[in-house]
Chain A
Amino acid sequence: MDVLIGQLATGLSLGSILLLAALGLSLTFGQMGVINMAHGEFIMAGCYTAYVVQQIISSAGASLLISLVVGFVVGGAMGALLEVTLIRRMYDRPLDTLLVTFGVGLVLQQVARDIFGAPAVNVVAPTWLSGGVDILGAVVPKTRIFILVLAVVCVAALATVLKVSPMGRRIRAVVQNRDLAETSGISSRKTDITTFFIGSGLAAVAGVALTLIGSTSPTIGQSYLIDAFLVVVVGGLGQIKGTVIAAFALGFLNSFIEYSTTASLAKVIVFVIIVIFLQVRPQGLFTVRTRSLV
């Protein structure tokens, strides 16, 4: 019983980590269609932001909360810069974007290595997040509960912004029909920058949270990039709810398969299941329906 609860909690936690890592990507890839291979490096930027903030503010609790805000701005600024300088010039060439952003990712990794060194650095978790909570015999680390809460808050905030704010309406309008949005007087260029800022900022927020459970090294982003893409692809492009459902589905699937097999085999089985799923539903779980004729 406590094993079942433990694995349910693990699945929920893994799902929330996947969701945080993929949420930003669901905006930039899912909504704008940009394949940003440097997304992982924005996650890494968040990790190092947490590290730097902690060097300045020694209180681990305060620095974590401040890093979440600072990380969002740092990641967002990096994303906006990338959009303005490179991605904007190749919106109609997805494969070129893929290669260019992959290169940018490698450059960013090396920059991190030159500034902070190749060995991992440690971000100290606040004492109120150390240890675990006993839930019906299974111990769930508090850090993972924090990440789950953070993921829920981020999704809620993003959904609210997209739904009710004028900026969110502009983003949705451009996603659904760029030409019509432009003819209605919406600057699609400004909207693109905003979307990219939010998407990249969310990646960095994920990075700040990940310092609680893993290592902060220049390659950390790479280990989450593929999973993030899978979540968005399985969830379907253009909708946040697809990403949310896909993240938790993959989280539970992975944790239960891993428990009955091994970590390596679980990855293989999950990938096979995804391949089969995409054969049946190539468009993913959800798609945006429009009246567009083409």
Chain B
Amino acid sequence: MRLPRRSSFKRSALAAGSVVAATSLLLSGCGSKATESDSANAASCTDTSGPTIKVGALNSLSGTMAISEVTVRHAIDLAVEQINGAGGVLGKQIQLVGEDGASEPTVFAEKAQKLISSDCVAAVFGGWTSSSRKAMLPVFESSNALLYYPVQYEGLESSKNIFYTGATTNQQIVPALDYLKEKGIKSLYLVGSDYVFPQTANRIIKAYAAANGIEIKGEDYTPLGSTDFSTIVNKVRGSGAGAVFNTLNGDSNVAFFKEYTNAGLTPQKMPVVSVSIAEEEVGGIGAKNIEGQLTAWNYYQTVDNPVNKAFVKAYKDKFGADKPTSDPMEAAYVSVYLWKNTVEKAKSFDVKAIQDNAGGVRGPGHHQRRKSPHHQDRPHRRDPPRRADLHDLAVARTDPARPLPEDVPVGCGPLQLRWMS
């Protein structure tokens, strides 16, 4: 028999409801806090004696970033499978230890520590948002471990413990701005997610705009995972800007583009240039809502070379013919091969030996001649993304742009920009 309910029950339920709301806010609010880690534990516990070598993969398989990061995990899986099929690294089979970063920077830091200290992996591949990388950075530095980070980022950071295989701003954002300038765009509206990458990227965009006589009509940020863009689209419409520069990440892009199209804005009236939407995200947004808009990346599925053809074919064979490949996936795939090549060149899994021997690797996108030890040379391309029929690239530069992470400023002083011409 059920106990009779007390009348104070509703009040306590109400209070508990408020607590729930407050707690969830706190949880999402403290996302970018870096985790303290034990700096004494710098010696690696990696076991190199057996027939296998452990490496870690740390991507968000849940949460708002899963839309993007699951594909990166697939690319890592594919690279590991191929390397194992071809005899492994230094005769050892790679054993991949997968972890879910859950779209939370604190979870990334925690799982990174777990991969390094309890799984004793030789290297970790993963991360997407800059907040997640910033949270993992102290962990990798204090434990002297290796992270291969596969996504385009805002620069201002170059750690000897991180290999950045994605683009720096001068390889992606600045060329995109050059393109808009060539097209005669006189003003921009900046829309981004509220965290480190969009905020920093927009500072660089604003500096470029000031130097090139482009007017910034407005700048708006929404929390990651935000799904209501009617106010921002109203503001964008009213601003009369020549183009929108979009640094939104994750699911928010879907809501933004649906709202944008429904408000009657078209690529002809006001084009949107996006730097965090790749082929995979187009499926969720709906090709109709994004057709004709611009993206800026260093790699597209349609890149025409034999290495890429083999990569795309292998990926589709493994994960399905309707699954596209994208820039961060290519960078993640390449990063596993980069690690393998470096290990073989150094003839050791030792962190110091890998840092000293970091060389180049020929990836699906292009020849990656490495001029900067921790970054990749990447050509940039712009393309309206299409899912069903990814056509050949409209603009492709043949000379790879050198990464210049050090050229973007530190601190809040006046910006100075240089880029490859």
Interface residues of A (CB under 8 A from B): 2-3, 6-7, 9-10, 13-14, 17, 29, 33-35, 37, 91-92, 94-95, 98, 109-110, 113, 117-122, 124-125, 130-132, 138-139, 141-144, 178-179, 210, 212-220, 222-226, 229-230, 232-233, 237-238, 255, 258-259, 262-264, 267, 271, 278, 282-284, 292, 294
Which residues of A have CB within 8 Å of B414?
A: none
**With A and B bound together, what is the CA distance between A258 and B233 in angstroms?**
12
Which residues of A have CB within 8 Å of B251?
A: 120, 214-215, 217, 219-220
**With A and B bound together, what is the CA distance between A98 and B16 in angstroms?**
8
* A-B contact list, 5 entries, CB within 8 Å: A7-B234, A121-B283, A213-B262, A217-B254, A223-B227
B residues 205-239 near A (Cβ < 8 Å) are 220-223, 225-228, 230-232, 234-235, 237-238
Are B63 and A219 in contact, CB atoms less than 8 angstroms apart? yes
Are B25 and A226 in contact, CB atoms less than 8 angstroms apart? yes
Are A120 and B17 in contact, CB atoms less than 8 angstroms apart? no
Are A233 and B14 in contact, CB atoms less than 8 angstroms apart? yes
Q: How far is the CB of B258 from chain A (nearest CB, A)?
A: 6
Are A131 and B262 in contact, CB atoms less than 8 angstroms apart? yes
Q: In the complex where A132-B264, A143-B262, A179-B4 touch, is A262 in contact with B255 (Cβ < 8 A)?
A: no
Which residues of A have CB within 8 Å of B396?
A: none
Query: In the complex, what residue of chain B is closest to A25 when comparing beta carbons?
Result: B17
**With A and B bound together, what is the CA distance between A141 and B263 in angstroms?**
6
Are B285 and A35 in contact, CB atoms less than 8 angstroms apart? no
Q: How far is the CB of A18 from chain B (nearest CB, A)?
A: 10
4 pairs of A and B residues whose beta carbons are closest in the complex: A120-B284, A215-B254, A141-B262, A118-B66
Q: In the complex where A29-B17, A119-B284, A215-B254 touch, is A294 in contact with B6 (Cβ < 8 A)?
A: yes
B21 within 8 A of A: yes
**With A and B bound together, what is the CA distance between A226 and B25 in angstroms?**
9
Contact of B227 among A139, A215, A225, A233 (CB under 8 A): A215
Q: How far is the CB of B306 from chain A (nearest CB, A)?
A: 28
Which residues of A have CB within 8 Å of B237?
A: 6, 139
Query: In the complex, what residue of chain A is closest to B226 when comparing beta carbons?
Result: A263
Q: How far is the CB of A35 from chain B (nearest CB, A)?
A: 6
Interface residue tally of chain B, by bracket? 35 or more
**With A and B bound together, what is the CA distance between A181 and B226 in angstroms?**
43
Which residues of B have CB within 8 Å of A225?
A: 24
Which residues of B have CB within 8 Å of A109?
A: 62
B335 within 8 A of A: no
Are B20 and A120 in contact, CB atoms less than 8 angstroms apart? no
B55 within 8 A of A: no
Which residues of B have CB within 8 Å of A284?
A: 14
Q: How far is the CB of B240 from chain A (nearest CB, A)?
A: 13
Contact of A139 among B12, B16, B20, B264 (CB under 8 A): B264
Give 1 or 0 for each of B15-33: 1 = CB within 8 Å of chain A CB: 0111011001100000000
Which residues of B have CB within 8 Å of A130?
A: 261-262
Q: In the complex where A113-B66, A263-B221 touch, is A94 in contact with B228 (Cβ < 8 A)?
A: no
Contact of B12 among A6, A94, A131, A259 (CB under 8 A): A94
Which residues of A have CB within 8 Å of B221?
A: 262-264
Are A3 and B223 in contact, CB atoms less than 8 angstroms apart? no
